[in-house]
Amino acid sequence: MNADQQNLQDYGIAILRIALGAMFLAHGLLKVFVFTLPGTAGFFESVGFPGFAAYIVAPAEILAGIALLVGFRTRLVAAATIPLLLGALSVHAGNGWVFSNENGGWEYPAYLVVAAIAQALLGAGALSVERLGTGGVATKPQNA
């Protein structure tokens, strides 16, 4: 792969990371400021999860979103979001495919699981704090 192809690949990975981070940040903030944490706890209980989990999930989504947006510990953070996404997937699993159901289908949470797995495998890509000092792109490994 030549340098131009590598740079394009790095920017593609960054786009995935930023989109995933924005989604986590938005959903975490939604749980806090729109649904409220007590409201989210009530919803969690209504679908069989312990209510206190809302007080863990919402901040986790916000922190994961910020970390992904800036590209901090990307592989670890993306991997850590997979259980959250599997929980969301389990809530929507009985709703069928696509958002024709009032409570949404399971395709979006499933897609996010796949995106988080891909991000965990790919790393941060360009424009990340993990790449500070490299101009935002990958550097060639040095021969020892």
The pLDDT tens digits of the residues spanning 78-128 come to 999 999 999 999 999 988 887 677 778 899 999 999 999 999 999 999 999
Has residue 37 been placed in a domain?
Answer: yes
Rounded CA-CA distance 45/107 in Å is 23
Has residue 132 been placed in a domain?
Answer: no
Domain interval for residue 87:
3-125
pTM, two decimal places: 0.90
The pLDDT tens digits of the residues spanning 42-82 come to 999 999 999 999 999 999 999 999 999 999 999 999 999 99
Has residue 45 been placed in a domain?
Answer: yes
Number of domains in the chain: 1
Angle between helices 37-46 and 54-70 (to 10 degrees): 110
Has residue 134 been placed in a domain?
Answer: no
Has residue 135 been placed in a domain?
Answer: no
